[in-house]
Amino acid sequence: MLAYFPTLYEDELLYSGIARYHVISGNKIQRQTIEDLFGNRSVCATADLPSHLMSLADNLNGQYTTDQIINNHTLLPYYTYFMKQQKIHQVQSLMENGSKQGEVHAFLGLLATSIKLPARLRFCTDCYKADSEICEPYWHRCHQLPGVIMCPLHKIILRVSTVEYSTLHHKYSFVPLAIHGESNFTEPVIDANWCDHLEYIAVQSNLLLQSQSKSKEETTSYRRVLPMEGYQTVGGRIRFNRLIHDFRNFYTDELLDYLDCGIDSNSSDTWLHKIIRDQEEITHPLRHLLLIGFFEKSVGGFSVTPNNLPFGSGPWPCLNKAADHYNQSVVEKCVVTRCSTTSKPVGTFHCCCGFVYSRRGPDTSDEDRNRIGRIKAFGPVWYDKLRCLNETNTSLRQKAKILGVDPGTVKTQTELLNTNKAALHKMRNQSQPARSRRNRNNEKGCSLSKVKRKVDWNQRDEILYDVVAKAVEQMKQLPNPLRISLASIARYTDSGNLTHKLMKNLNKLPRTNEFIKKHVDSTETFQVRRLIWAASKLNETEGKVLGWRLLKLAGLNHPLKKMVKDKFMELVECQS
């Protein structure tokens, strides 16, 4: 048992405490100090990840436990923050019970990584002065971490001492900072443009070092945050080229090379690929911090959308104000597609009441779940509510408030209801099967003979032709261009029997079918209509049509199809 061992200071390396003990003990050789503490002269003077800690704790007579030493006076918490708990227990066991030289470093992957350990121990001059006033200068843990060039407390460049970090040339030598002296150092030359990044790395590395109270079962999944930043398609493909390009521009190749974290843009197997693809592989914490810093998240606040879903997990709320279940999570179906303009995910939510709405994602907060981007179908419940309101003296604005739309939408949908009402009524009357006379030969006298239902398709064709023609005309007069398709025509002519008959029996309606084929939009014709609309808007607001403004307002990008390009050139040349 030792008669005395100095109290370890806050954030002090065990190496530093042993070095101070050697001076106080009066031992002439370092191996005598090692034997006093560990009962074994072969224990190496390891600065970052010492071993044989169980023997040390026993000789200290309960002054410190192995957990206290590991968590508060070694660098292990920094290296294990992103590791599973099982692996943490294994490396703690190696440090407690003793291990061969380099075994702990090998287990943590430090021998295989290209990130080099610091060559020499480092210190902060401001910390040196502050410690000298309170107690005595000592080696701080947070100054010895890989990639840490600045003091996380004082935000100044660390000085590099002459004391070697590794045990290659001084296996059994513990050197205290007080004996080394404040003036014996070199100062690294750092590009001023790197300071913000280096300060971030220093502060976040120190947070990792103090993280022993945090749960290490949860590892960061960067694949969850990629869709939010536009680096993953809706189908799940990662846009590595874009990610690497932006990552290198953010940090610069010079800083990445200085930190031993350079990325070869021509390789498809860089450390950045590995850290995103495989969370089970051990990756150096410095590289985790670089990626987290790129996404502008702190270690303690790294939060992402659960389940890697751009709109979270269902059920989702129904946003149909006309329904009894308004704002309740009853929507079970969400179809995710990709926006052709922004490449962001678009969620289309289908409720059992017939209400269908969509919005562009991904969701970044709980409030986004109650947001509508566009109503795609109102549904029978909504239309029934509209009919009931139209039979009362309720004002237009009040109707709009009750139905959750703007007054213009109420007017438009009311006009459609009135337009289609007569046609629908007539068609439904024709579809009713004629009741047969009561069968007089039947003794009970209550059965009806079945009459085969017969539809006059020529007459139905005439009725539907008028309804469809009027719907197409109204769609073309909308303030903003709406693509004319069979589905949009069906939706625009109200929901119900008409939609079913139009979609399912178009081959039996020759005149209506011909009209739809003539007026339905292809991709090119719709883009041409958008160009014409955008040119008209620009002439009204700005008095001229510039090419880039025309494309932006029309929502188009180069390259354009031939028909669209010809129209684009025509509209631009008309202004020159």
Question: What b/e string do you get for 213-246 counting C-beta neighbours within 10 Å, with b at 16 or more?
Answer: eeebeeebebbbbbbbbebbebeeebbbeebbee
pLDDT by residue, tens only, the chain of 576 residues? 577 888 999 999 999 999 999 898 888 888 888 888 888 887 888 889 998 899 898 888 888 999 999 999 999 999 988 887 788 888 999 998 877 777 888 888 888 889 999 989 999 999 999 999 999 999 999 999 999 999 999 999 999 999 988 766 667 788 899 888 777 788 888 899 999 999 999 999 998 888 754 444 444 567 777 777 778 877 778 889 999 999 999 999 999 999 999 998 888 889 998 888 866 678 899 999 999 888 876 666 554 444 456 788 778 999 999 999 999 989 988 888 877 777 678 889 999 898 999 998 888 777 888 889 889 989 889 999 998 999 888 899 999 999 999 998 888 888 887 776 655 555 555 555 544 444 444 444 444 444 455 677 888 888 888 888 888 888 888 878 888 887 777 777 654 455 555 666 777 888 888 888 888 888 888 888 888 888 888 888 877 888 888 888 888 887 888 888 888 888 887 765
pLDDT of the residue at 472: 85
Q: Round to whole Å and give the CA distance between 551 and 461.
A: 40
pLDDT of the residue at 440: 45
Do residues 570 and 544 make contact, with C-beta atoms less than 8 angstroms apart?
Answer: no
Closest to 126 in 3D by CA, of 116, 118, 137: 137
CA 384 to each of CA 340, 490, 494: distance values in angstroms, whole numbers, following the listed order: 34, 18, 12
Closest to 24 in 3D by CA, of 49, 6, 47: 6
pLDDT of the residue at 515: 87
pLDDT of the residue at 487: 76
CA 21 to each of CA 2, 40, 327: distance values in angstroms, whole numbers, following the listed order: 11, 16, 68
Say which residue the tokens 């001076």 belong to: 23
Q: Round to whole Å and give the CA distance between 258 and 233.
A: 32
CA 291 to each of CA 218, 249, 531: distance values in angstroms, whole numbers, following the listed order: 17, 13, 42
pLDDT of the residue at 302: 58
Q: Round to whole Å and give the CA distance between 97 and 55.
A: 8
- Residues paired with 207 in a beta bridge: none
pLDDT of the residue at 218: 43
Do residues 217 and 85 make contact, with C-beta atoms less than 8 angstroms apart?
Answer: yes
Question: What b/e string do you get for 54-68 counting C-beta neighbours within 10 Å, with b at 16 or more?
Answer: bbbbeeeeebbebee
Say which residue the tokens 């958008």 belong to: 530
pLDDT of the residue at 311: 83
pLDDT of the residue at 216: 42
pLDDT of the residue at 499: 56
Q: In one letter, which amino acid is 409?
A: T
Angular region, 26: left φ>0, alpha ψ -120 to 50, beta rest? left
